[in-house]
C-alpha cells in the first residue's frame, strides 16, 4: 500500500508541475498506528520487530516523496512538515511505540500522549539542522507564512511561531503547568 500511495503522490506533484499549478499534498501515513501490514521488502529489517519494520517503511515513503520534490526543482518553493497526531499506543506494548522517559501515550494528556515530533523544512527559508523545544501550533504559524489570518470569531488554540522557524529567536513561553503546580505545592508545604 505504501508504494501505491507514494506513486500517487509523485504523479500528483508531476501533474501539478506540468500544469504550472502550486500544490498542497497531505500524505497521511498509516504506519505506525497498529501493525496492520509491512511491505515484504521491510519485513524483518529492524531489531525493533514489526513496529521497527513499519518505521523503516514510513521513512522510505517520506524519503521517496522528498526526493521527488527535489527532482522537480520545487525544494525552495515547498514547505514540508512531518508530525504526528499523538504519542504511542501503549496498549499494544512493543508493537505500539514508546514515549521514552515521558509518561503516557495515545488518548492520554500526559506529555507522552501529546508531545510528538515536529519537523519543518523549507529550503532557503528555514535554517537547517536547528532544534527548538518550543511548543508548536501549526495552524497560526502556517496562516502567518502564507499571509492569511486566523479567524477571530472563535477561540483558537496556539500561537504563531514563525519567528522561531525563520530566525530561531525564542517565542515568549507561558509558565509550564508543572512548574505552577510545584510552586503551589511548595506554598502549601508539600513540595521539596
**What is the SS3 assignment for 96?**
helix
Q: What is the pLDDT of residues 97-106, one digit of tens each?
A: 777 888 888 8
Of 50 and 122, more confident: 122
Q: At what angle do helices 49-71 and 2-18 cross, to 10 degrees?
A: 10
Using alpha carbons, select from 174, 78, 67, 183 the residue that is nearest to residue 120: 78
Q: DSSP 3-state helix, strand, coil percentages of the chain (rounded to 5)?
A: 45, 5, 55
Query: How far is Cα 19 from Cα 171, in angstroms, rounded to an integer?
Result: 39
Residue 178 belongs to what H/E stretch?
Answer: helix 177-187
Query: What is the domain partition of the chain in residue ranges?
Result: 2-126, 135-192
Query: How far is Cα 95 from Cα 100, in angstroms, rounded to an integer?
Result: 14
In eight-state DSSP terms, residue 103 is: -
The residue-averaged pLDDT of 104-115 equals 83
Of 138 and 183, more confident: 138
pLDDT band (50, 70, 90) for residue 93: low
Residue 25 CA from chain centroid, whole number: 15
Query: How far is Cα 12 from Cα 147, in angstroms, rounded to an integer?
Result: 25
In a 10 Å sphere around its CB, with 0-12 CB exposed, 13-18 middle and 19+ buried, how is residue 132 labelled? middle
Q: What is the pLDDT of residues 42-71, one digit of tens each?
A: 888 888 788 788 888 889 999 999 999 999
Confidence at residue 29, expressed as pLDDT on a 0 to 100 scale: 83
Amino acid at each position: 500500500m505504501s508504494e501505491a500511495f507514494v506513486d500517487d503522490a509523485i504523479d500528483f506533484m508531476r501533474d501539478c508541475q506540468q500544469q504550472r499549478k502550486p500544490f498542497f499534498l497531505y500524505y497521511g501515513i498509516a504506519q505506525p498506528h497498529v501493525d496492520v501490514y509491512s511491505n515484504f521488502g521491510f519485513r524483518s529489517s529492524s531489531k525493533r520487530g514489526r513496529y521497527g519494520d513499519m518505521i523503516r517503511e514510513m521513512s522510505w515513503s517520506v524519503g521517496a516523496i522528498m526526493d521527488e520534490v527535489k527532482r522537480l526543482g520545487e525544494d525552495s518553493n515547498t514547505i514540508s512538515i512531518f508530525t504526528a497526531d499523538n504519542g504511542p499506543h501503549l496498549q499494544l506494548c512493543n508493537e505500539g511505540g514508546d514515549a521514552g522517559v515521558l509518561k503516557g501515550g495515545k488518548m492520554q494528556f500526559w506529555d507522552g500522549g501529546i508531545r510528538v515530533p515536529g519537523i519543518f523544512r523549507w529550503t532557503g527559508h528555514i535554517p537547517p539542522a536547528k532544534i527548538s523545544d518550543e511548543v508548536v501550533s501549526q495552524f497560526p504559524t502556517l496562516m502567518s507564512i502564507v499571509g492569511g489570518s486566523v479567524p477571530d470569531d472563535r477561540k483558537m488554540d496556539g500561537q504563531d511561531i514563525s519567528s522561531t522557524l525563520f530566525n530561531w529567536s525564542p517565542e515568549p513561553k507561558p509558565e509550564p503547568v508543572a512548574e505552577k503546580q510545584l510552586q503551589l505545592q511548595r506554598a502549601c508545604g508539600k513540595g521539596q
